[in-house]
Amino acid sequence: MDHQELRRRFGTLTTAHVADACVRAGVPVRCGPAGLTAVEGGARLAGRVRPARHVGSVDVFLEAYEAAAPGDVLVVDNGGRLDEACVGDLAVLEARAAGLQGLVVWGLHRDTAEVRAIGLPVFSLGSVPAGPLRVGERPDDALTSARVGEWTVSAADVVLGDDDGVLFVPADRAAGLLALAGTIRDTEHRQAELIRAGRTLREQVGFAGYLARRRETPALTFREHLRSVGGAIEE
């Protein structure tokens, strides 16, 4: 799937829909940590991961941009550090000039006003005025993988971002997961409309029946019941 098709298909979905699709498909749900949010509310991104491990110098970003394809997303691993910013307005401007779709930073950014004015989606753990405080030895895999929270990602992954945060999925599973996410979205939208029309969610999913079945079969889970009635509120 090319980056334009990825963006088009994700355009009517949320990361929550895709995360639920991962659960249903048995794919690990690789969310960025809860603090990893958009600099500008409402920002969305979808693109192939272009990893970069930061050790104090901007050259690793420039090298990543040299190798990037249009629509890629720079995923910066700064070890989740909260004492320095590793991305500022120049790095974001250069990303836009290179045709990237956005940045995800496992660390902090700075130049917040300028970054917002540039308009390219940037997700980070927050901001601090201080720039890089040290220059370390660059690892051999600096441009092949990046760590974000507990996950290691690479160009074999795509990253999706919206107001709920970021989610990484295998590129070779993206098409199927987005299709499944669409069915989950449609089911949830129908359920929401029925609630607004006066039919409670408990009625829709036969909750009284579930309680009766559970009395007979205590091991029965609500998720198993939902699957039997076509519900989608937990996955």
How far is CA 218 from each of CA 104, 109, 210, 223, rounded to the nearest angstrom? 44, 50, 11, 13
- The CATH number for 37's domain is 3.50.30.40
Q: Look at residue 189 and tell me if it is in a domain.
A: no
Shared-domain flag, residues 29 and 144: yes
Cα 234 from Cα 20, distance rounded (Å): 7
Q: What are the binding residues?
A: 88-91, 110-111
Query: How wide is the angle at C-alpha 79 spanned by C-alphas 58 and 37, nearest 5°?
Result: 90
Residue 38 lies in a domain: yes
**Residues at the annotated binding site for Mg(2+)?**
111
Confirm if 169 and 22 have CB atoms less than 8 A apart. yes
Residue ranges at the known binding site for substrate: 88-91, 110
> How many angstroms from the chain centroid is the CA of residue 152?
13
> In which domain, by residue range, is 157 found?
3-177
CB 22 within 8 A of CB 177: yes
Cβ–Cβ under 8 Å, residues 40 and 114:
no
Confidence check: pLDDT of 201 > 60: yes
pLDDT digits (tens, 9 = 90+) for 161-170: 999 999 999 9
Position 231 pLDDT exceeds 80: no
Q: Are residues 130 and 54 in the same domain?
A: yes
In a domain, 194, yes or no: no
pLDDT tens by residue, 94-147: 999 999 999 999 999 999 999 999 999 999 999 999 999 888 888 889 999 999
> Between β-strands 45-53 and 85-87, what pairing exists: parallel, antiparallel or unpaired?
unpaired
Q: Average pLDDT, stretch 144-159?
A: 98
Give the tokens for residue 112. Answer: 């917040």
Same domain, 167 and 206: no
Are 51 and 161 in the same domain? Answer: yes
pLDDT tens by residue, 70-85: 999 999 999 999 999 9
Q: What's the chain's average pLDDT?
A: 94
What pTM was estimated for this model as a whole?
A: 0.91
The reply to whether 204 and 173 lie within a common domain is no
Q: Is residue 227 predicted with pLDDT exceeding 90?
A: no
**Is 187 part of a structural domain of the chain?**
no
Note whether residue 186 is domain-resident. Answer: no
Q: Specify the number of domains making up the chain.
A: 2
Q: How far apart are CA 90 and CA 213, in angstroms?
A: 61
Name the DSSP class of 127: B
168 and 222 share a domain? no
